[in-house]
Amino acid sequence: MTDDSADAGWFRGLDPGDLDAARDAVDHGGTDTPADWPSRAVTAGFAADEDDYYDALHDATVNATREAVRERERADDQQLKYGVRAMDDAERTANELAERVSEWAGAVFDDAPTGVDGARDVAARDPGTPAERRAVSLAERVVDLADEADDLRAYIERTAPAVAPNLSRMAGAVLAARLIALAGGLGDLAKKPSGTVQVLGAEDALFAHLSGRAPSPKHGVIYTHDYVRNTRPEDRGSAARALAGKLTIAARIDHYAGDLRPSLHEELDERIATIRARADS
C-alpha cells in the first residue's frame, strides 16, 4: 500500500466491523514512511478517536494472528505431526492394555495367548460369565486401538511422500513424519542444523550429557534407519552424521522447493557405502 492520500493507512476503505477485511489489510498492507495513523483514521472517519482506533487495530491484529494459527494447524505437515503422535499413542496403549488382557484372560480362560494378537484371540471368544465378558470387552478395545494404529500408519505412508518427498524417500514415511513432529513442523525441521537433527528424540540423553551425567548421544530417532542401526557400532556415529546431514538438506528442499532430487539420495548411498567399507579395510 502506498501513502498517496490523507487517509492512507491499513484501515483505508474498510468497514470498522469487518475483521476479515481488516486481517487482509494487516497481512498485506504497508507504507514506505511512518505517519500519524490514529489521527488519519479519525480524519478518514474510520475511528471516532485515538482510543477507538487502537481498539480496532487490536481486534484486527488478534483476528489476523488467530487465522494465521488456524492455517498453520491445518497445514499438511501438521497433520502428519498429529498422525504420527496419535499412532504412537495408539500402539503404546494397545500394547499396555494387551498385558492387562493377558493377565485377566489367563485367569478366566484355560488358554489365553499374549500380546495384541492374543487380545484378538480373546476378543473373538464367547464369554459365559461377567468376568469373561469384561475380559473380552477389554480385548475388543485393544483390537480397536491396534486397528486404529494400523490405519494411522497407512495414512502417514500415503501422506508423507506428498508433503516431504525427499525426506520420505530418504528416511521412510514414518521416520520422516516423526522427525517433522519432533521439530514441530517441516519448516522448523528445515531450519535446524544437522547436528540437532541427528539427536532429535534423544533429548533426555542430551540433557544428561550437558549435566555431566552421560556421554554425548550419537543419534536420536534416526537410529531406527537401516543406515544407522545396521552399521557396526564403531561406525554408527559417522553414519548418523552423514544421514543427518542429508536429511537436513532433504527437509530444506522439501520445504522451500518441493521437488524430488534423486542425486541427493545417491550421494547418501555412496557415503554410507564408504563408511561401511571401513570394516573390510
CATH number for the domain including 88?
A: 1.10.287
pTM of the predicted structure, to 2 decimals:
0.74
235 in any annotated domain? yes
Q: Got the DSSP string for 105-174?
A: HHHHSS----HHHHHHHHHTS---SHHHHHHHHHHHHHHHHHHHHHHHHHHHHHHHHHH-HHHHHHH-HH
End-to-end CA, the chain: 66
- Grid coordinates representing 142? 485393544
pLDDT digits (tens, 9 = 90+) for 10-34: 777 788 778 778 777 777 777 777 7
Same domain, 250 and 182: yes
Q: Print the domain residue range for 34.
A: 19-74
Q: How far apart are CA 7 and CA 275, in angstroms?
A: 67
Q: How confident is residue 57, by pLDDT bands cut at 50, 70 and 90? A: confident
Instruction: Report CA-CA distances (Å) from 18 to 24, 123, 129.
Output: 10, 56, 64
7 in any annotated domain? no
pLDDT score of 172 more than 70: yes
Q: Which of 49, 74, 99 is the last residue of a domain?
A: 74
HSE value, Cβ hemisphere, 13 Å, CA-based, for 3:
9
Q: How confident is residue 72, by pLDDT bands cut at 50, 70 and 90? A: low
Q: What average pLDDT does range 154-176 have in this prediction?
A: 96
- Grid coordinates representing 98? 494387551
pLDDT score of 244 more than 90: yes
Q: What average pLDDT does range 61-79 have in this prediction?
A: 72
